[in-house]
Amino acid sequence: MATPLAPDTPLSAPLDVGFDYTRSLGPVLGRFMTALRERRIEGVRGSDGRVHVPPVEFDPVTSEALSEPVGVADEGTVVSWSWMPDPIAGQPLQHPFGWALVRLDGADTALLHAVDAGSPDRMRTGMRVRARWVDEPVGSIRDIACFEPAGPGAEPRGPAAPPPAGTEPVTMLTTPVHLAYRHSASVQESRYLRALAEGRFIGQRCPACGKVYVPPRGACPADGVPTEEEVELPDRGIVTTFCIVNVPFLGQRITPPYVAAYVLLDGADIAFLHLVLGCAADEVRMGMRVEAAWKPRERWTTSLENVDHFRPTGEPDAPFESYREHL
């Protein structure tokens, strides 16, 4: 935000999304994860006798449900590899490492994981690698911290850590996912948001159907044609429809009951959702005249949040016929 933007540069802002996905594992993957927690690797036997690691729930050829677990070694052979010189967020190692498909001894398919080889010169197809386990396994593919070179010349492993306590099978997996985006407003939305920062509402009229959209959209959703004519709108209008929020929920900023309403500004054809405060919730009605209650000017930004809420003006209600097309 340090660089002043040209007036027509679209606004953009960071958009960071995150969610902890929780997934039930089912019998096959649950068993695999339970074994990982005990620093063991277990595959599943396919219809043709081949051993799949990681396990698959259904045979890829016959589609038969698979259930016979097969223990395999935590050591194996690299069948393909690449080198990651500049690891990105979330990957197993944060210093340069190899990605490898590892066929563990006793398995017929290969597992994808990282190899802490130090340098690409130490990676090759056919190399022997072994799992490096984390100190506190929980039942996740990340209980294998990574693989490391094994075979002649490799340092011997220390004594195996005792399996952790806990005998309940692993049934759930939690995977946090965080992604960072740059969200852009359209040119038209940007003009609308900048007008809000000056305490004004602007919309746009469709050249085909004549409807006025606020916020402006750049293309008429009915006609698919670009919208260009800008229309200044007042900060007052009517409630078209509304609901009384009685249910508390996480992140709620107002104590229920309160009113969330569609507000149709005078001269606009699209209503937007906002709060109606300033009267008892049960006094709000369709057709009620309302006006914007702006936050103090020094708190205005390029946001509709500059309007704290809408409040009744006390004018006579609009007749139903005047807004029936806008419901």
Q: How far is the CB of 249 from another protein (least distance, A)?
A: 18
Exactly one of 184, 252, 301, 303 binds another protein (CB under 8 A); that residue is 184
- Asked whether the beta carbons of 257 and 240 are under 8 A apart, the reply is no
Distance CA 94, CA 91 (A): 7
Q: Using the rule CB under 8 A, is 313 a contact of another protein? A: no
Binding to another protein by residue 112, rule CB under 8 A? yes
Residues 213-252 that bind another protein (CB under 8 A): 217-226
Q: Which residue among 67, 175, 303, 322 contacts another protein (CB under 8 A)?
A: 175
Task: Output 7 or 85, the one with its CB closest to another protein.
Answer: 85
Phi, psi dihedral angles at 263 (to 5 degrees): -110, 125
The DSSP bridge pattern shows strands 51-52 and 41-45 to be antiparallel
CB 267 → another protein: shortest distance, Å?
21
Residue of 62, 67, 82, 252 that binds another protein (CB under 8 A)? 82
Are 109 and 80 in contact by the 8 Å Cβ rule? The answer is no
234 to 10, 202, 264, 265: CA distances (angstroms): 24, 9, 10, 7
Give the CA radius of gyration of the chain: 30
Report helix, strand or coil for 13: strand
Q: Does 125 bind another protein (CB under 8 A)?
A: yes
Q: Please give the C-alpha separations between residue 93 and each of 55, 88, 218, 243, in angstroms, as whole numbers.
A: 24, 9, 45, 51
The token duo for 68 is: 């016979």
Q: Which of residues 241-300 bind another protein (CB under 8 A)?
A: none
- Token pair listed for 242: 């509304």
Choose which of 25, 134, 245, 293 interacts with another protein (CB under 8 A). Answer: 25
Closest separation between CB of residue 175 and another protein, Å?
Answer: 5
Q: Least distance to another protein from the beta carbon of 208, Å? A: 9
- Least distance between another protein and beta carbon 233 (Å): 20
Contacting positions for another protein (CB under 8 A): 9-10, 12, 15, 17, 21, 23, 25, 29, 32, 52-54, 56, 60, 79-85, 88-92, 99-103, 109-114, 120, 125, 140-142, 173, 175, 177, 179-187, 189, 217-226
